[in-house]
Structure 1
Amino acid sequence: MKAIVYQKFGTTEVLQATEQPVPAIKANQVLVKVKAFSINPMDWKIRKGEMTLMSGSKFPKYTGTDFAGIVEETGAAVTGLKKGDEVFGVVKNMMKEGVSAEYVAVTASLVWKKPSQISFAQAAAIPVVGTAAVTSLEKMGNINSETNILVNGATGGFGMFLLQLLKQRGANVTAVTSNKGTAFAKKWGANTVIDYTKENVLSNTATYDIVIDLSGKMGYKTAKSIMKAKALFLNPTPQPIEIPVSLFMNLFRSKKHVVILSAPSAKYTDILLEAIKKGLEIEVNKVFPFSQYKEAYQYAEQGGYIGKVVVELN
């Protein structure tokens, strides 16, 4: 089978399409013929060597975390899935595994049946950013129409899920996005939309109960000026040092810096599937064929697009 691998850290130029054996599955795994996989920022952070403490420096390495496809084979201990099922899922360890291949062997507990109303490309976009959005909701605690929430960088894949989940919960949301994202932010449920190319959210007099920075550009120190006295700053893109430091510093401050660390699970996926039933939209900005995998990663790394970028296989 064809699979994308790399033998050293670097730019997209280190990615190579190689011939690999179809993986053998364990009793608790399924073999999936991959129809689509999505691209996430963690893919290039690992590839560039920014996550070596967790990913290690052993090669070859693989890329891609979430996927959709068709079950080809099931392990002896697997129930609830069978050959021919249309599914989507995620690898257990994104630091060590990858799904950018024609076939992938995955733990069955991290594979779910694809809703019939969405495409393989849309399904492949769900697990990583969808789970991060649900995890963020949990960290927010009890929210309602009186809860003022600022979502910075609101119309990427993460924001797409988060805005719609917040709308389903009735929160009062201000979304910060580019001019090409304003219509999507409104459609996905933002009460107020700020175009950062025309207005600086930090110059407004408004303050917020919760600020979540999906762009990775605001930071806790900057956000403090627009946070209420006992507000939360949610950080889904922390630097490794921020994880222990934020826990310690929160003991002494009323404005909390909360790091978001998420892992897909059946619990979170059930929440996402229910939201999709209620009309949650999945916007796939661009689909690349497998033969253009380098172009796909280059496009994704540039940022500035709405929703998700996906690679499809025949």
Structure 2
Amino acid sequence: MKAVVYHQFGNTNVLQMVEQPKPGIRPDQILIQVKAFSINPMDWKIRKGEMTLMSGSKFPKRTGTDLSGIIAGIGAEVRGLKVGDEVFGVVQNIMKEGVSAEYITLPASLVWKKPKNLSFAQAAAIPVAGTAAVTALEKMGNIGTQTKILINGATGSFGMFLLQLLRPKGADVTAVTGSKGTTYAKDWGAATVIDYTAENVLTSKETYDIVIDLSGKMGYQKAKPIMNPKAVFLNATPKPIEIPGSLLNNLFTGKKHQVILSAPSTKYTNMLLDAINSGLEIEIHKVFPFSEYQQAYEYAERGGYVGKIVVEIA
């Protein structure tokens, strides 16, 4: 089978397509013929060597963490799924595993049936970004109509899920996005939309109860002036050093800095599937064929788009 791997840290030029044997199946696993996998910021953070404390330096590595496809084989202990089912899923360890191959084995506990109304590309976009959005929602605690929330970088894949999950809560949500995302942000539930190309939210007189940075460009220190005295800053793209640092900081200040560390689960996936069945939209900005894997990652890393970038395998 064909697989995309890399043997050293670096830019997209370290990625290469190779031939590998099709994986065997353990009793608790499912063999999936991959039809699509999505691209997440963590993919290139790991590939560039920014997460070596957690990802390690053992090569070769694959890229990609969530996927959709068709079941091609079933382990003896697996129940409730069968060969031919259309499914989506995610690797168990996003720091050390990858799905960029024609076939992949996953634990049955991290595979779910694909909703019939979703394409393979849309289903592949659910696990990582969707779970992160549910985790962020839980970290926000009790929110209501008086809660003022700022989402910076609001129309990427994470923001796409979060805005729509927040909508039933009735919170006062301000979305910061580029000019291409303003209409989407309004449609997905933002009460106020700020185009960062025309206005700097950090110079605003408005303050917020919750600030969540999905762009990785704001940071806690920059956000503090627009945070209320007891506000929470949610960091969706923490550097390894920021994880213990945020805990220490929270001992000495009313303004809290929390990192979002998420792990897909059936509980979270069921919440997402319920939301999808109730009308949550999954916007796929661009789909690349497997042969254009380098171009796909180059495009994704540039940013500035709405929704998700996906690679499809014919």
1:245-266 deviations in Å (ceiling 9; x for gaps): 1111201111100111001011
1:216-260 deviations in Å (ceiling 9; x for gaps): 111111111111111100001111111111111201111100111
SS at match of 2:247: helix
1:254 alignment counterpart: 254
2:264 alignment counterpart: 264
1:15 alignment counterpart: 15
Q: Distance in 2 between matches of 1:155 and 1:290?
A: 25
Report how many aligned residue pairs link the two structures. 314
2:202 alignment counterpart: 202
1:241 alignment counterpart: 241
| Counterpart residue identity of residue 178, structure 2 | S
1:106 alignment counterpart: 106
SS at match of 1:64: coil
SS at match of 2:291: helix
Q: Distance in 1 between matches of 2:276 and 2:57?
A: 38
SS at match of 1:109: helix
SS at match of 1:237: coil
1:167-207 deviations in Å (ceiling 9; x for gaps): 12222100000111100100111000000111111222111
Q: Sequence identity, in percent?
A: 72
1:57 alignment counterpart: 57
Q: Distance in 2 between matches of 1:169 and 1:87?
A: 30
Structure 2: segments with no counterpart, 5+ residues: none
1:280 alignment counterpart: 280
| Counterpart residue identity of residue 171, structure 1 | A
Residue 156 in structure 1 maps to residue 156 in structure 2 = yes
TM-aligned CA deviation for residue 285 of structure 1: 0.4
Which range moved further: 283-292 or 93-102?
Answer: 93-102
Q: Distance in 2 between matches of 1:216 and 1:51?
A: 15
For residues 70-85 of structure 1, the aligned pairs below 5 Å read 70-85=70-85
2:146 alignment counterpart: 146
| Counterpart residue identity of residue 69, structure 1 | G
Q: Distance in 1 between matches of 2:235 and 2:172?
A: 19
Q: Distance in 1 between matches of 2:67 and 2:31?
A: 12
1:37 alignment counterpart: 37
Q: CA RMSD in A?
A: 0.7
What TM-score, normalized by structure 2, do the two folds share? 0.99
| Counterpart residue identity of residue 52, structure 2 | T
Q: Distance in 1 between matches of 2:292 and 2:249?
A: 45
Is the contact between residue 5 and residue 15 of structure 2 (CA under 8 Å) also seen in structure 1? Answer: yes
What TM-score, normalized by structure 1, do the two folds share? 0.99
Q: Distance in 1 between matches of 2:276 and 2:197?
A: 31
2:120 alignment counterpart: 120
TM-aligned CA deviation for residue 313 of structure 1: 0.7
Q: Distance in 2 between matches of 1:8 and 1:243?
A: 26
Residue 297 in structure 1 maps to residue 293 in structure 2 = no
